Amino acid sequence: VLFRSLIDLAGTKSKVDWDRSAFEYLVSVSWQKDHNALITVANRTQTNFQTFELINNSLEIKAKHEDAKFIDVIPGQPRFINDDLLTVVDDSQSDTRLIQLNSQPLSPNHLQVLGVFGSAKDQIFFSGTSNAIDRDIYQISKSGKLRQLTNGGVNSASNVVSTDEATYLVLA
């Protein structure tokens, strides 16, 4: 296990613990400005993921995702969008990988979400495909308004930068 404790700038170490016998893999750790850290762990077969919020050196479950077959690791998530939790999950009813906000579907059923680049204000920037060939960049608002930013081919971005005046998406 790579992540067992936090060390502050003064060198003080604090232990962080979860059920390592049930969840052997540390999938991701993210820490956004003005938010607590999010820690995602998985079982060995990658059929069960849990995301915790680190609050005062203890873990609180924020999201669970189970699939009898396999769960892909989707880059850029989970993450906070303001105070809402964004996750990407496989929806078996629509056979679509969806963005969810607070466990509610946000992205449309026809669009497979491949990764999340970032967010600015109430906008989320992500990679998706509707045809298994192209990899386009999309923008979706928290209200569900979708905008396709690229059209065709394989497109990617590396970062979202936001100022008071403008939001920039750094294309890769």
Q: Which residues make Cβ contacts (< 8 Å) with residue 59, sequence separation at least 6?
A: 16, 17, 18, 39, 52, 53
pLDDT band at 47 (very low <50, low <70, confident <90, very high): very high
Residue 39, judged by CB atoms within 10 A of its CB (0-12, 13-18, 19+), counts as buried
Q: What is the mean pLDDT of residues 147-157?
A: 92
pLDDT band at 1 (very low <50, low <70, confident <90, very high): very low
CA dist., res. 12 & res. 121, Å (int): 34
Q: What is the mean pLDDT of residues 40-46?
A: 95
Sign (positive or negative) of CA dihedral 83, 86, 92, 94: positive
Q: Is the pLDDT of residue 148 over 70?
A: yes
Residue 39 and residue 52 in contact, taking contact as beta carbons nearer than 8 Å: yes
Helix or strand (DSSP H, E) at 79? strand 79-81
Distance, CA of 66 to chain centre: 16
- Looking at the DSSP bridge assignments, the partners of residue 105 are 100
Q: How many CA atoms lie within 13 A of 165 on its CB side?
A: 0
pLDDT band at 3 (very low <50, low <70, confident <90, very high): low
Residue 53 and residue 59 in contact, taking contact as beta carbons nearer than 8 Å: yes
